[in-house]
Amino acid sequence: MRIAFLVAPEGVEQVELTEPWQAVTAAGDTPQLVSTASGSIQAFHHLDKGDTFPVDEVVGDASVEEYGGLVLPGGVANPDALRTDADAVAFVKAFFEAGKPVAAICHAPWTLIEADVLSGRTLTSWPSLRTDITNAGGTWVDEQVKVCTGGPNTLVTSRKPDDLKAFCEAFTSEFAKQK
């Protein structure tokens, strides 16, 4: 099964991309890097530049039908850029409409807020998003990982890089149910 990793051209937190990517590969699935521009993306270690990664597909050309699930890595700049891109927001919303699982960590729920998919959902995130999530109709909880099945799809969320082990275990387990 192909799994989309949606990131902006710059600003993704590298460990929030690489560890989930490795978990998807270890689960026998195929991760695909989807971005708002072709070429490569620049990852970060908090505020310092990290590695670059090649883009597999531009989000405007991507079809939700090609993917079994969506992973939204965090970083502050990454979801902030994604939520201002109409194609990225539409791509995220389409996963919810198709009933396909979505996983988001750290600041990534900003993109979910913009896609207007959080009403009635319970999730976690970096603590500073609490008010944004509440204002978008979601219920924010301070938990290492939250699996919410109370909607059209499964939504798996975590707070921060320290939660990556639990995040990866939870979302790969939920994504496996799609096979």
How many whole angstroms separate alpha carbon 146 and alpha carbon 127?
A: 14
Looking at 45, 106, 148, 168, which residue is catalytic?
106
Q: Is 106 a catalytic residue?
A: yes
Nearest 5°: phi and psi at 130? -50, -50
**107 catalytically annotated:** yes
Q: Which of 45, 46, 107, 168 is catalytic?
A: 107
By the 10 Å C-beta count (0-12 exposed, 13-18 middle, 19+ buried), 58 is classed as middle
Amino acid at 36: T
Three-state DSSP at 18 gives helix
Cβ count within 10 A of residue 142: 10
Catalogue the active-site residues.
106-107
